[in-house]
Amino acid sequence: MTVETFAPGKLILMGEHAVVYGHPALAMAVDRGLHVKLTLRPGPTGLDQPFADDPRLHRALLTVLPATGVCVRIESTLPIGRGMGSSAALAVALARGSLTLEGSDINDAAVNERAFAVERIFHGSPSGIDHTVIMRGGAVLYRRTASDPEFETFALPELPIVVIDSGSAGNTADMVKAVADQRSTNEPYLEQMGALLLSTRAALLGGDIPTIGQAWHENHWLLRAIGVSTPVLDEIVRTAVGAGAAGAKLAGAGGGGVVIALCPEPEPVLEAAAQRGWTAFQVRCAAPREGH
Ligand code: PMV
C-alpha cells in the first residue's frame, strides 16, 4: 500500500515572534510545497533516500508513524529551514498520510493534533501559526491564546511577492529563545508589531501596495530591534527596496532564511538579487483548501 500527500509551504507576512506572545500574525500558504510518499514494507520505518541533514527528522517521523513497516520519501520545492514552512508542511503531510495509512478519519482536529506534535519536535513550543495556515491554505490571521488559538481566514488580493533566500538557515527554537531571554526589553517592539498588523489590515484587504510596503519596512526594523535579523537580511531588504520594492522584511524566525519583498515590478528586484548571488523567485498565495 502506498499513500501520497502534499502540503504547501507558507510565509509569515507580518507578526512573527510577536505571535508567540499572543499578538496577531498574518501568514499565507504558498504555491510551493512538499510531497510525502508512505509505502508499507518490512523493516524499520525510515527515509528511502536522504532528505535533510537534520537529526530531528527521524524523531519527527516516529511521532506519527509506527517504528517499523513504513518507507518514507520526501520531495520538496521549498527551500529547507528558510522560514517557508518546510517543517510544518512535512508535519501536515505526515499527519494526513499517517491517518490515511491507519484508515482513520482525516478531520481537522486529528490532523492538527498530529501536525502540532511533529512541529514540537522541530521547534519546541511553536505558536502553531505555521501548521494552521498550511492545513487550511489561503491566508490566516492567527492569535495564540491561553486555550485554543483564534484564527480567521483572510481573503487577500493577489500581492506581487518576491522571495529572496539569504542562503543560510536560521534555527527557529534558538531565535524564539533569544527573544524570550530579552523579554522585557523586547516587549514594546512585540506590541508594536501586533498593532502594526491591525492598523495595516484594511490595506492588506484592499491591496494597497504603498501602505503594505511601508508596514513591511517598519515590521522588518522592529524584527531587527528584537535581534532576529542579520547583516545579510538587512542587506537584502536594502537591495530589494533599492531595486524598486515597495517594502521588504525578513519572514519567519530570522537568523537566516528568506526576505519577502513587495514588488509591483518584480524583474529589477529579481535581477538585483541574482547579481548578488541570492536565489529569488515570485510566489503566490495558495488557494484555501476545500471546506476552509
Ligand atoms: O521558522 P518559521 O518560519 O517557522 O517561524 C516561526 C514563527 C515564529 O513566530 C518565530 C515562531 C512561532 O512559533 O510562531
**Mutation choice for ligand 1 from 127, 141, 166, 250, CB with most ligand atoms inside 8 A:** 127
Catalytic residue selected from 48, 54, 130, 174: 130
| 3 state SS for 128-189 | CHHHHHHHHCCEEEEECCCCCCEEEEECCCCCCEEEEECCCCCCHHHHHHHHHHCHHHHHHH
Q: Examine the pLDDT at 108 and tell me if it is beyond 90.
A: yes
Q: Are strands 68-76 and 150-154 parallel, antiparallel or unpaired?
A: unpaired
Rg, Å, the chain Cα set? 19
- Residue 80 CA, ligand 1 centroid: distance in Å: 14
Q: What is the model's pLDDT at position 55? A: 87
Phi, psi of 25 (to 5 degrees): -140, 155
Q: Examine the pLDDT at 174 and tell me if it is beyond 90.
A: yes
Residue 130 annotated as catalytic: yes
Residue ranges around ligand 1 (CB below 6 Å): 12, 16-17, 19-20, 83, 123, 126-127, 129-130, 172, 176, 252-253
Residue 51 pLDDT class (50, 70, 90 cuts): confident
Tell me the pTM.
Answer: 0.95
Q: Examine the pLDDT at 292 and tell me if it is beyond 80.
A: no
Instruction: Please give the number of the atom of ligand 1 that sits closest to the Cα of 81.
Output: 1
Instruction: Please give the number of the atom of ligand 1 that sits closest to the Cα of 175.
Output: 10
Which conformational region is residue 68 in: left (phi greater than 0), alpha (psi within -120 to 50 degrees), or beta? Answer: beta
Alpha carbon distance 284, 188 (integer Å): 32
> What is the grid cell recorded at 278?
541570492
| Separation of CA 238 from chain center | 22
Residue 24 pLDDT class (50, 70, 90 cuts): very high
**Mutation choice for ligand 1 from 10, 13, 19, CB with most ligand atoms inside 8 A:** 19
Cβ contacts of 266 within 8 Å, gap of 6 or more: 160, 162, 282
Alpha-carbon torsion (131, 227, 53, 8), positive or negative? positive
Q: What is the mean pLDDT of residues 7-24?
A: 98
Task: Please say whether the beta carbons of 132 and 140 come within 8 A.
Answer: yes
